[in-house]
């Protein structure tokens, strides 16, 4: 059974930083992709970043381009999202999700949100002005 759990959210002042963690288990595919997503109140869910188990170079969406760094530790089954210079508009529930990428030979950015099959419970990030 695939399980993901995001943690590390909280309240932070604008301009501050936060590190989110995602613990995962059960990803036994030959290759898989893990992504970070966020959903603000009244808005659609959007991709923040993703990384493939076979490629250590993350992809970053437009939402936090230049202000976030995604990393992974395969030995610990963890991925992280370092967020810097946070803005009030970054306030959202942040999720990590995964999908089987065994037969995918391209960037993780090629996966649409609806193609992620496994989702963890989100963690709320609130950025105060």
Between 116 and 109, the more confident residue is: 116
Residues 6+ apart with CB under 8 A from 128: 11, 12, 13, 14, 88
Query: In this predicted model, what pLDDT tens digit does every residue of 31-80 receive, in sequence order?
Result: 999 999 999 999 999 999 999 998 878 999 998 989 999 999 999 999 99
Q: What pLDDT does residue 55 have?
A: 82
Report whether pLDDT(85) > 90. yes
* Residue from 36, 28, 25 nearest 109 by CA: 36
């Amino acid at each position: 059974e695939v399980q993901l759990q995001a943690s590390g959210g909280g309240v932070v002042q604008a301009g501050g930083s936060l590190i989110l963690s995602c613990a995962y288990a059960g990803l036994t595919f030959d290759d898989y992709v893990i992504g970070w997503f966020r959903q603000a109140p009244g808005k659609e869910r959007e991709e923040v970043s993703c990384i493939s188990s076979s490629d250590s170079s993350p992809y970053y969406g437009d939402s936090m381009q230049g202000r976030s760094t995604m990393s992974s530790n395969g030995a610990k089954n963890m991925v992280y999202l370092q967020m810097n210079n946070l803005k009030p508009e970054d306030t959202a529930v942040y999720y990590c999700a995964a999908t089987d990428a065994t037969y995918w030979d391209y960037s993780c950015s090629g996966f649409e949100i609806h193609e992620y099959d496994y989702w963890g419970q989100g963690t709320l990030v609130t950025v105060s002005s």
